[in-house]
Amino acid sequence: MNIIALLNSLPGAAAQGLIWGVMAIGVYISYKILDFADLTVDGSFCTGGAVAAVLIASGMNPLLALVFALIAGMAAGLITGLLHTVFGIPGILSGILTQLALYSINMHIMHGKSNVTISRTQFDLLLTSASIGRALIVAGIAVLATVGILYWFFGTSLGATIRATGSNERMSRAQGINTNYTKVLGLVISNGFVGLAGGILAQYQGNSDINMGRGAIVIGLAAVIIGEVVLGRVSNFALRLGATVFGAVVYYAVLAFVLWLGLNSMDLKLFSAVTVAIFLAFPYLKGKYLKKKKTAVKEEQHASAQ
Amino acid sequence: MLQLNEIRKTFNAGTVNAKVALDGVTLTLNDGDFVTVIGGNGAGKSTMLNIVAGTYPVDSGTIRLDEEDITALPEYKRARLIGRVFQDPMTGTAADMWIEENLAIAARRGKRHGLGWAITQKERVAYREMLKSLDLGLEDRLSTKVGLLSGGQRQALTLLMATMNHPKLLLLDEHTAALDPKTAANVLALSDKFIEEGKLTALMVTHNMKDAIAHGNRLIMMNAGRIILDVSGEEKKALTVDALLETFAKASGTEFANDRALLA
């Protein structure tokens, strides 16, 4: 085993982690703030990447292309939100329907091809995997901007209504909040950042691919959970978003590590799913075990008292 | 002024489980009326409150509040006019948010939520003063998550949130039923205080006949989706639990089958 090879792979893993961190923040908004497991992201991540790649290939400024990636992601979130609120389709199913539809739409965006290449020699990309130092800086700026904007937004009166909706829907309606509107708005914002992240990744890897978003929800959840486990439950909102990005970086570092250990890249998704399942199950099993222990102690005391 | 006119509501209509919850309820509350509502399980008390709040639509009938027909208005729009406290202390507040954030949301009830800060320094000072009136020490815990408060504290906070912008109507749905007797008495005393100070119009559902007699200026009894007794003023003051039970038996043709109310 060559330790140098591992060390060499880490900066790239960090850059990927930062980019996926932006997408994980999107998942944080839907999953943690809005309490909505939104599967749209698997599709909207690719939508953002496809829009950015196609626009750059047609000559658009790569920064401006990211704005359109953001808007495309928001549109995807809007569809899921409307399916759920206007048509009463359960949340998970709304996301799955949009995700499925987006496969066709993403193919159309990429003019029927499953892959659109944007060469770094041909276009002035914001970041590329060939120049990791610059990629780290650009991805870092994207993360800071995302955290900054969302820290501001969720501190506003409007942002507070989205948080209230996720925390207690009945209370929100009793307090005059149109919870259908706040849910749609939350999903729009969430998927906007997911699309943005897709656009950034497309530039980083020099192409957009129809499969680039597959499993994005799992990576996002992994980042959210790892961030919580590693940094604990910090109360500051900006730090919590930061912890999610940190979780994404850790996730990619771990992936680099297991690949270095010799895991077949074919098995990566299985590895990811199992890891996330364990982390999701952990708090539940812990609670169950502690409860059992507590009742056992109580029964013991009860028995000894008699 | 609240006017309910011939309100009917049937759950699971057209199935074997059809349940007539409200069977032509007509009721007028004058401004400043504080009405207590009693009745057995399934009498329609909570349904009546939920119908007024807009939790579910009516089958027929009209609801007017201050001359405005609100029958078709969605729940979140009625919140502009109506403050509510629920039976479950967990329902009325957002557990994941701070005390001051909950208050800020209540303060903007019925107003536009824009991109200004959710809470300003000036508001924070005002919230601290309001919390002092609860006498629970919450004024020093503005940035405590509401989920960390006890049921009684949360119910008192919900009461403050429901009354702070002087609603046209206050709905209290067995809001002390889940609390221990001492805490329940405190929350009831606070309810009296807020209703009196704000000159609010209120409907309070309770399972406790003594509370129903001791509070408010008017008492109504419900059975099988109808109002079977409506007393106010001196007549209400003279009521006793025994008299209420007798009235119930006479009007409904059955015994008042509710242990909680009998034992209270």
pLDDT at A124 over 80: yes
- What would the pLDDT profile of A37-87 be if each residue is shown by its tens digit? 999 999 999 999 999 999 999 999 999 999 999 999 999 999 999 999 999
CB contact under 8 A, A172 and B94: yes
Query: Of the CATH numbers 3.90.320, 1.10.3470, 1.10.10, 1.25.40, which one belongs to the domain with range A8-262?
Result: 1.10.3470
B19: CB partners within 8 A, 6+ apart: B10, B11, B12, B42
CB contact under 8 A, A157 and B53: no
Kindly report each contact of residues A144-147 with a partner whose C-beta sits within 8 Å and lies 24 or more positions away, as own/partner.
A146/A22, A146/A25, A146/A193, A146/A196, A146/A241, A147/A25, A147/A238, A147/A241, A147/A242, A147/A245
φ, ψ dihedrals at B28, nearest 5°: -120, 125
Predicted complex ipTM = 0.91
Q: What is the mean pLDDT of residues A261-287?
A: 87
Residues of A in Cβ contact (< 8 Å) with B105: 160-161, 164, 172, 175, 177
What is the number of alpha carbons within 13 Å of residue A194 lying toward its C-beta?
38
Nearest CA in chain B to A32: B96
* DSSP three-state, residue A67: helix
pLDDT band with cut points at 50, 70 and 90 for residue B248: confident
Q: What is the pLDDT of residue B257?
A: 57
The pTM (predicted TM-score) of the whole model is 0.92
User: Can you tell me the distance from the alpha carbon of B32 to that of B199, in angstroms, rounded to the nearest whole number?
Assistant: 6
User: Can you tell me the distance from the alpha carbon of A76 to that of B245, in angstroms, rounded to the nearest whole number?
Assistant: 60
- What would the pLDDT profile of B73-92 be if each residue is shown by its tens digit? 999 999 999 999 999 999 99
* Helix segments in A28-116, DSSP class H: 41-57, 62-85, 91-109
Q: Which two tokens stand for residue A245?
A: 């990005």
**How far is B2 from chain A, CA to nearest CA, in Å?**
18
Q: What is the pLDDT of residue B47?
A: 95
Alpha carbon B132 to chain centroid, angstroms = 23
Q: What is the mean pLDDT of residues A191-196?
A: 98
pLDDT at A302 over 80: no
> Do B264 and B208 meet the contact criterion of CB atoms below 8 Å apart?
yes
CB contact B114 to A (< 8 Å):
yes
pLDDT band with cut points at 50, 70 and 90 for residue A287: confident
- What would the pLDDT profile of B170-218 be if each residue is shown by its tens digit? 999 999 999 999 999 999 999 999 999 999 999 999 988 999 999 999 9
Residues of B in Cβ contact (< 8 Å) with A159: 118
Would strands B60-65 and B2-11 be described as parallel, antiparallel, or unpaired?
Answer: antiparallel
What are the residue ranges spanned by the domains of chain A? 8-262, 271-306
The percentage of chain A sitting over the pLDDT mark of 90, rounded to a whole number, equals: 79
pLDDT at B14 over 80: yes
B residues 159-198 closer than 8 Å to A (CB): 161
The percentage of chain B sitting over the pLDDT mark of 90, rounded to a whole number, equals: 81
Q: What is the pLDDT of residue B246?
A: 85
* DSSP three-state, residue B64: strand
Q: What is the pLDDT of residue B249?
A: 79
Q: For all residues of chain B together, what is the average pLDDT?
A: 92
pLDDT band with cut points at 50, 70 and 90 for residue B41: confident
Nearest to A66, CA basis, from A75, A76, A79, A53: A53
Structural domains of chain B in order of their starting residue, each with its CATH number: 2-81+167-263 (3.40.50.300), 95-166 (no CATH)
Q: What is the mean pLDDT of residues A93-122?
A: 97
CB contact under 8 A, B91 and A179: no
Q: Pick A175's closest partner by Cβ from B86, B105, B116.
A: B105
C-alpha angle with apex A259: A255 to A265, nearest 5 degrees?
Answer: 95
